[in-house]
Structure 1
Amino acid sequence: MEEKTVSRRKFLKLAGIASSGALLAACGPSAQQPAAAPAAEQPAAEQPAAEKPVAEQPAAPAAEGDKTIRLWVAWGQMNQLFQDEVWYQMPEYEEICKGIKIEYKGNVSEANVMTAIAAGDPPDCGANWSYAQLAIKDVFIDTEPYIQASQYIKQENYIPAIWDFCKFWTFKGMLGLPCFESFLDYGLNYNTELVTKAGLDPNAPPETWSEALEWHKALTIKDAAGNLTQFGLDPYDAMGGDPDGMEVATNHKYWDDTTGKFDFTNELFVEYFDITSKFYEVMGPDQVAGLRQAEGMGGWGGSYNAEAQAMIIEGYWHTGETTIQAPEVAKKNAASWSPVLDSLRGRRVQVAGGHTLAIFKGAAHNAESFKFGEFFNTDAVLDVMFKQVGWILGKKSWLETVDPNTYPGLKFYFDSIPEVTDWYQLRRCPLHGFIWGQLPEVRELCYRGQITPQQAAEEIQHRAVTEWQNQGLPEA
């Protein structure tokens, strides 16, 4: 695939289009994510992939007068960094967070967070949950006053789409501050070696779902007993399974943040259910479920790293995480645009956003939590996160220092900026987490032929509208 180049200055200028209103606000929170294939698809921790639960890491012994903040996140990728107390060894920590200790807990589910809130004992701060859904419950502080007084956090130093990710429907002010990872969220990553062996051209990746289906057929292999040993693309894995993935595929919002209305029954979503179900017809629902049960064959990169999966719809982080987790496989990775429906050929749809450091109301250390967020936005920390975890934050001055060729496939995400025709923001809908939890069942009913694509669209529409009413959520 021919690589186009774009200067860092041009990239940053183009990335600023969101401030002019060109960005379309997409739906939903950074909620829990499916950890396996649809047949066993259960919401787990959000993108990127989570690890096994980790024990809480107690703060280092605090000196008299030190304050300890409790930081909870749904990821597992940072567990080792916190366990090794990497941050305390950095001069930036002493400068910004002197007198502050961190009690870190990774792999924390949203259910556990809600239990803590209900008990009147929330963590001080956290990330990687359904921000929009929690925000509407009024559990976060507005960080705007802290930002106004900060010498480290300046709005003009962030890609507008990333900054605006911290603003949610019905929430007044800023919900936290950009943190941990927040950049570009959609691309079709593929194993060039497997693609070549299948007789396909790695320099001409599929642009539409019909073309992706043909690649999928060529890349899917079963043994003599009919067991699935390799497949092309699981359309519901990783970011493909996120409700926002439906918006990327159809270039249409399932929830309108100006009216508060759902639109799953739109004909574009019916077409989406139809074409994506065909991928399961090729693999066999039971066969893919069986493969997913094998050790190391889970979603969010597991089966891709094992080279049993040739394509995956993922964000930029896939390139770095794969390099760290499976370096030999990463060398074969390439990335291109996430597929769109045939009628949308030529549309280049991209999603910006990711995560914020949310600070809880009722917690003891709001100011100290914000200081931790300031520290985590320093170039020194962003360097560690990029090198050790593979994550990127849309801080413009730091992005100028990043080599987009560091990880195979990463350059696509940088180069995609000037070619995007339609921008969305990640997870705007207050029911994003709920919908993500409902979609696997509805999709499975559809790809097993128990309901039609039209009925699938009507069913998820019904569930979403009913839940909205049951929660007493407001009209726009």
Structure 2
Amino acid sequence: MNLHKLNRILAGGLGAALLSTTAAFAVDLTFYYPVQVGGPLTQVIDGYVAEFEKQNPDINVDAIYSGNYTDTTTRALAATRSGNPPAVAVLLATDIFTLIEEDVITPIDTFISTDEDKAWLAGFMPAYLASAQIDGHLWAAPFQRSTAVMYYNKEAFKAAGLDAEQPPRTWDELVEVGKALTVKDASGNVTQWGLGIPGSSNAAHWLFGALVAQNGGQLSDETGTRTFFDDPKVVEALQFWIDLSEKHAVHPTGILEWGTTPSDFMEGRLAMAWHTTGNLSNIRKNATFEFGVAAYPGNPNPASVLGGGNLYIFKDASEEQKAAAFKFVQFMTSAELLADWGIQTGYVAPRDDSWETEALKAYVKEVPQADVARRQIADSKPEISTFESARVTQVLNDALQAALTGRSTPQEALSAAQAEAERILSAYRN
């Protein structure tokens, strides 16, 4: 047997042994993630995971779709308390105070050690990094981030004699345009409403935050320990939302559901709809008419609200799992993958370098609506975020539900909500 052939045999045997050893000592990661928008996104995630495992054969990722954001947070915390935490999860950016208080996550910045790591970190948009920075640490990596935008039916605009390239820019214009777009049949029944803003309990606080920002107010402070629900600017914003139905008759009465608002828009029941940019791909694939995406109006200054989820690494995972989880986080937040995720979903790629990739530049050229959210970031405010986020947010959502359904006035509902939020959060102040 010649030496060359022997070397090949030995190399092959060594390679097989190494593969066997790698497989025997593979790191297993559990990855929880939510889906809050339309489309077959579990398939997209599965494709990303398969590619990561191909590039990292010593890491196995069990990707588990865990429902909506609330479901996913509940499941992740329950698993952690039972001693079986996920290694990594996509959870709301606003969950950060709760996750820190529960002592279940590890700061992302503790894994930064190389120049390559630092370059990766520097690529994120500061507005999205800010929501993950508390007490001098970066606790999460931005992933499926969004802003709320306005979808509008250009054909409905044209039918109403409106300029389809000039969506409303102020609250007054929103009411005026909404009246022109509201259509009734011969019996006086509305067949097309001018505007729809979801008010269901899983979304009301987010879109209400945009209304508050447009009116120059805010719902919480940066410490996560104070809310301003009874501030006059907040009360005025809720009154305007109600007036869209009761006074101006351009919006359905009661509460629109988050999950059905996109279909209401695509089926022509709403001429304008407020929703997440994360539904852009869904609407683009399924709308049978030409539509536009617009930045939110203002009173008078335009404003929207940042939203979406970040990737968190869990503290009680093993050291090997946490190291592997950081590799996975970097893979899932690379410029190229976030560009693709934005194209597949409509979420805003939260990295500046993602927008320089050929794929995303080509997509924006083909679908200019996709660039609206990126341009709106400068006018977007952080989403409400506090300690005991689920409880405080529920308090606000309950108040919004009460006012939107006429059970309370905006002032009554928000004053009661502020008193309850104050009771919850006072314990977290030094």
Unaligned runs of 5+ in 2: 1-21
Secondary structure of the residue aligned to 2:271 is strand
Q: Which amino acid aligns with 1:178?
A: P
Secondary structure of the residue aligned to 1:261 is coil
In 1, are the aligned partners of 2:338 and 2:350 still within 8 Å (CA)? no
Q: Which amino acid aligns with 1:405?
A: K
In 1, are the aligned partners of 2:171 and 2:298 still within 8 Å (CA)? yes
Evaluate the alpha carbon distance shift between residue 227 and residue 112 of structure 1 in structure 2; reply closer, same or farther with a 3 A threshold.
farther
RMSD over aligned CA atoms reads 3.0
The aligned runs of 1:252-271 (5 Å cut-off) are: 252-258=217-223, 260-271=225-236
What is the CA distance between 1:175 and its match in structure 2?
A: 0.9
Q: Which amino acid aligns with 1:349?
A: A
What is the CA distance between 1:100 and its match in structure 2?
A: 0.8
Secondary structure of the residue aligned to 1:232 is coil
Asked whether 1:396 is paired with 2:337, we answer no
Which residue matches 1:10?
A: none
In 1: Cα distance, 2:167 partner to 2:311 partner = 36
Q: Summarize deviations over 1:232-282 as a string: whole Å, max 9, x none.
A: 222345866415324323222221225832222111112111110122333
Asked whether 1:75 is paired with 2:43, we answer no
Which residue matches 2:242?
A: 277
The match for 2:316 among 362, 382, 403 is 362
What is the CA distance between 1:118 and its match in structure 2?
A: 2.3
In 2: Cα distance, 1:379 partner to 1:227 partner = 49
In 1: Cα distance, 2:171 partner to 2:204 partner = 12
Q: Which amino acid aligns with 1:72?
A: Y
Asked whether 1:99 is paired with 2:62, we answer no
Q: Which amino acid aligns with 1:410?
A: A
Q: Summarize deviations over 1:298-319 as a string: whole Å, max 9, x none.
A: 4452322323222222343333
In 2: Cα distance, 1:199 partner to 1:65 partner = 67
My pick for the range that moved more, 144-153 or 103-112, is: 144-153
In 1: Cα distance, 2:176 partner to 2:109 partner = 49
Q: Summarize deviations over 1:158-178 as a string: whole Å, max 9, x none.
A: 22222223213xx55111222
Which residue matches 1:122?
A: 85
Which residue matches 1:333?
A: 291
The match for 2:128 among 153, 162, 175 is 162
Identity %: 20
In 1: Cα distance, 2:268 partner to 2:231 partner = 36
TM-score by length of 2: 0.79
Evaluate the alpha carbon distance shift between residue 132 and residue 245 of structure 1 in structure 2; reply closer, same or farther with a 3 A threshold.
farther
Unaligned runs of 5+ in 1: 1-61
Which structure shows the bigger proportion of residues in helix conformation? Answer: 2
In 2, are the aligned partners of 1:379 and 1:398 still within 8 Å (CA)? yes
Asked whether 1:176 is paired with 2:140, we answer yes
Asked whether 1:413 is paired with 2:413, we answer no
In 2, are the aligned partners of 1:132 and 1:427 still within 8 Å (CA)? no
Secondary structure of the residue aligned to 1:382 is helix
Which residue matches 1:196?
A: 158
In 1: Cα distance, 2:177 partner to 2:340 partner = 37
In 2, are the aligned partners of 1:431 and 1:464 still within 8 Å (CA)? no
Q: Which amino acid aligns with 1:322?
A: I
In 2: Cα distance, 1:373 partner to 1:254 partner = 30
The aligned runs of 1:440-459 (5 Å cut-off) are: 440-459=397-416
In 2: Cα distance, 1:229 partner to 1:120 partner = 53
What is the CA distance between 1:224 and its match in structure 2?
A: 6.3
My pick for the range that moved more, 67-76 or 234-243, is: 234-243
Q: Which amino acid aligns with 1:104?
A: A
TM-score by length of 1: 0.72
Matched residues, number: 387
With CA pairs under 8 Å and 6+ residues apart, which has the higher RCO, 1 or 2?
1
Evaluate the alpha carbon distance shift between residue 197 and residue 107 of structure 1 in structure 2; reply closer, same or farther with a 3 A threshold.
farther
What is the CA distance between 1:335 and its match in structure 2?
A: 2.4
Evaluate the alpha carbon distance shift between residue 244 and residue 225 of structure 1 in structure 2; reply closer, same or farther with a 3 A threshold.
same
In 1, are the aligned partners of 2:214 and 2:298 still within 8 Å (CA)? yes
In 2: Cα distance, 1:150 partner to 1:314 partner = 38
Evaluate the alpha carbon distance shift between residue 198 and residue 443 of structure 1 in structure 2; reply closer, same or farther with a 3 A threshold.
farther
